[in-house]
Amino acid sequence: MADNKESIYINMHDSRTGKALTESLEEMVKQLVACSMPLNFHIEALKCQSIIMRTKLIRQLKDHEEHRGWKAKEVDITTEDFIKAIPLKEYREIWQENYESYIKKLEKSVSETEGNILLFNNKPIDARFHLACGGSTENSENVDGNIIQYLRKVLCNYCQKSPYSLNYRDIPIEKIEERLDVKLTSNNVLRDIPIYNMIDGIVRDEQDRIVKIKIGGKEFKGKEIIELLNIDSTRFGWQPQIIRFFSIGKGDGLGLCQYGANAMAEEGMSAEQILKYYYTGVEIKIIKDPCINKPLKGKLIVIDPAHGGKDGEGYIGKQGLKEKDANLSISLYLEEELRDLGAEVHLTRYKDETVHLEERAQIANDIMPNFFISIHQNYFNHPAKSGTEIYYFKGDTVAKKLAKEIMKVLTKNLKTLDKGIKQADFFLLKSVIVSSIHVEVVYISNPVEESMMMNMGFRKKVAKSIAEGFVNFYRYV
């Protein structure tokens, strides 16, 4: 199984909150494995489940336009189909002392199968699974009525030691009547109810007294029964109050038997061998064209590379770095990053030219983006001052939230000092009529930060960090 290094994101409708959110495919796989297979299972069994749950997600993504209730352009899937999935941090109280070890197993099982899905005829399969088959899996037509070539019956002796090898459940008659919408009992207490291999051969006289009856294949007279069982009269009847249902295995028997997979893994079989045993004729391949919406698909962003041209030099550092050049370079890298994430992006300038503040505001207001972001470098007379600052206009709480997400990523990745998220009444923040932020990346008056900014790799890291902040913001909107 090959590695897949390209991150894929899913736009989801969260049925618990009613909101749209964005999550990486691999993080979602972790959540689904956590809620669908015991975490004390062998790592190869967990790898099987990782591939299965990733396949389920990809299969639903391909069908999302036919989904119900929400616009396909806005979300890819709904969590309704994965209702048991919860954020991994919520398992801390559930797993308790096992939490850290289980998280490590999840990360290993998902990362080592990253991007791998199950295909039949080059299409994602309906990757069905169940806890224990009890001796053999089932053909699809015997469960769902449709013949599916990869869901064929296979013998499975591997799950014989599972907790589900033989179980029973006692269900009161009234519960059976209620759930099945049937009537099993009668107000006539003398109504004969033959019970196969237990009570039959019932003979009554004209007064409904039991003359003779067979119980367990042995014939008794009515008088014998009332004496042996201490019943008040030979005019007796019976109605079962509880039925004990026995079961072997757990689930519908389709696809992968999880306890079987675990036993096979413990015997040394790989995830690939196990999956190909339970799913007939499948292939395991890396996702190539998943048709997945990028996390910023449908988002419109205007980037403002501050300053520019002869009339807008901006600040110049001691080593000769011009702010206008750094701003434009970062903005062009940021445009590329955001486009790769699915956003539509516009810049207020694409070269070293003068674009006045009023023109910049007009460009943004004509486009009406989701966000306007202005890129700057800071300056102070004292060369020791350093760090990153982000500004927003008073009352723009949405911009403030975006600023927080971008600040967290910038300061972490750039190793710069968090100088705070602050209110300001800068012209563009006031004049642009959509949510806007003003980012002062570093102080080019600081020789160390100026040197950092002179490096193109550092500028790319700035752009990538800002883009990551946008993704994190939309993940929780």
**Predicted confidence (pLDDT) per residue in 288-312, tens digit:** 654 455 788 889 999 999 999 987 7
Q: Does 292 map to a domain? A: no
Q: Does 132 map to a domain? A: yes
Is the confidence at residue 470, as pLDDT, over 80?
yes
Output the CA torsion sign for 177, 178, 179, 183.
Answer: positive
Output the CA torsion sign for 426, 432, 435, 441.
Answer: negative
Average pLDDT on 204-215 reads: 94
Q: Which amino acid is at 310?
A: K
Average pLDDT on 163-186 reads: 89
What is residue 3's predicted lDDT score, i.e. its pLDDT?
Answer: 44
Interior angle at CA 29, CA 274 and CA 63, nearest 5 = 95
Which residues have C-beta within 8 Å of that of residue 282, sequence separation ≥ 6? 118, 119, 120, 125, 150, 275, 276
Q: Verify that 66 and 84 share a domain, yes or no.
A: yes
Q: Does 69 map to a domain? A: yes
Q: Verify that 320 and 280 share a domain, yes or no.
A: no
Q: Verify that 256 and 234 share a domain, yes or no.
A: no
SS3 content of the chain, % helix, strand, coil (to 5): 35, 20, 40
The pLDDT-based confidence of 1 (bands split at 50, 70, 90) is very low
Q: What domain range includes position 365?
A: 300-475
Q: Report the candidate in 121, 117, 114, 127 with the shortest Cα–Cα distance to residue 81.
A: 127
The pLDDT-based confidence of 65 (bands split at 50, 70, 90) is very low
296: phi then psi, degrees, rounded to nearest 5 = -110, 15
Q: Verify that 450 and 466 share a domain, yes or no.
A: yes
Q: Verify that 340 and 393 share a domain, yes or no.
A: yes
- Answer with the one of 264, 286, 308 that is the final residue of a domain: 286
Q: Verify that 400 and 460 share a domain, yes or no.
A: yes
108: phi then psi, degrees, rounded to nearest 5 = -65, -45
In eight-state DSSP terms, residue 88 is G
Q: What is the value of pTM for the model shown?
A: 0.62
**Percent above pLDDT 90 for the chain:** 73
Spatial distance between the Cα atoms of 377 and 344, rounded to a whole number of angstroms: 25
Q: Verify that 255 and 323 share a domain, yes or no.
A: no
Q: Verify that 206 and 267 share a domain, yes or no.
A: no
Q: Does 19 map to a domain? A: yes
**Predicted confidence (pLDDT) per residue in 230-270, tens digit:** 999 999 999 888 999 999 999 999 999 999 999 999 999 99
Integer Rg of the chain from CA? 34
Q: Does 409 map to a domain? A: yes
**Predicted confidence (pLDDT) per residue in 94-106, tens digit:** 999 999 999 999 9
CATH number at residue 351: 3.40.630.40
What is residue 14's predicted lDDT score, i.e. its pLDDT?
Answer: 72
Is the confidence at residue 178, as pLDDT, over 80?
yes
Q: Verify that 23 and 56 share a domain, yes or no.
A: yes
Q: Verify that 183 and 200 share a domain, yes or no.
A: yes
C-alpha distances out from residue 456 to 83, 446, 451, Å: 45, 18, 11
Which residues have C-beta within 8 Å of that of residue 68, sequence separation ≥ 6? none
Q: Verify that 95 and 131 share a domain, yes or no.
A: yes
Is the confidence at residue 28, as pLDDT, over 50?
yes
Average pLDDT on 44-49 reads: 98
Q: Does 1 map to a domain? A: no
Interior angle at CA 170, CA 168 and CA 172, nearest 5 = 160
365: phi then psi, degrees, rounded to nearest 5 = -70, -30
What is residue 64's predicted lDDT score, i.e. its pLDDT?
Answer: 45
How many distinct structural domains can be found in the chain?
Answer: 3
The pLDDT-based confidence of 60 (bands split at 50, 70, 90) is confident
Which residues have C-beta within 8 Å of that of residue 415, sequence separation ≥ 6? none
Structure tokens at 413: 């990745």
The pLDDT-based confidence of 12 (bands split at 50, 70, 90) is confident
